[in-house]
Amino acid sequence: MMKKEKNKQQNGAINSISEGSEMSGEIKAVGDFRLAGSFKGQLESEGKVVITEHATMEGDIKCNDLDLHGTLTGDIEINNLLSIGTKGIFTGNIQVGKITVEEGATLNIHKCVMQNTNANTKKK
């Protein structure tokens, strides 16, 4: 019972870099990830990544969903939804299932590949 509860907590965990913090390197997160500070490197998450309004990131991201409200320069591979808020600034390449962009966002996209999120679904 304890092992099952521990796994449940890890899968629901939200990892973060706080505002004012700076970090570089490679991050692999099992749960969701929230960036409020500055990060340079590679970020891979099995969950959702949120980049807050005052956050900056330079590097590549692989995740299920991404909410961008800050500044991101790099390549992103999103399995499901990329959502860019009004103050979001993105420069780089995108591979994504779905994308939403709010008015006021800044995009400098070099290449965008829309992938079919239903491709793995078998027809009956």
The reply to whether 93 falls in a domain is yes
Q: What are the phi and psi torsion angles at 9 (to 5°)?
A: -65, -40
Distances in whole angstroms, Cα of residue 88 to Cα of each of 26, 34, 60, 79, 92: 23, 15, 16, 19, 13
Count of domains forming the chain: 1
The reply to whether 124 falls in a domain is no
Q: Please report the pLDDT score of residue 116 as a whole number.
A: 74
The reply to whether 8 falls in a domain is no
- How far apart (Å, rounded) are the C-alpha atoms in residues 27 and 109? 24
Q: Please report the pLDDT score of residue 117 as a whole number.
A: 60
The reply to whether 74 falls in a domain is yes
- What are the pLDDT digits (tens) for 28-39? 998 899 999 999
Q: Please report the pLDDT score of residue 82 as a whole number.
A: 97
User: Which domain does 94 fall in, by range?
Assistant: 15-114
Q: Please report the pLDDT score of residue 4 as a whole number.
A: 41
The tens-digit pLDDT sequence of the chain (124 residues) is 334 433 343 556 688 999 999 999 999 998 899 999 999 999 999 999 999 999 999 999 999 999 999 999 999 999 999 999 999 999 999 999 999 999 999 999 999 999 876 654 444 4
* Residues 50/35, Cβ–Cβ less than 8 Å: yes
The reply to whether 47 falls in a domain is yes
Pairing of strands 38-45, 56-63: parallel
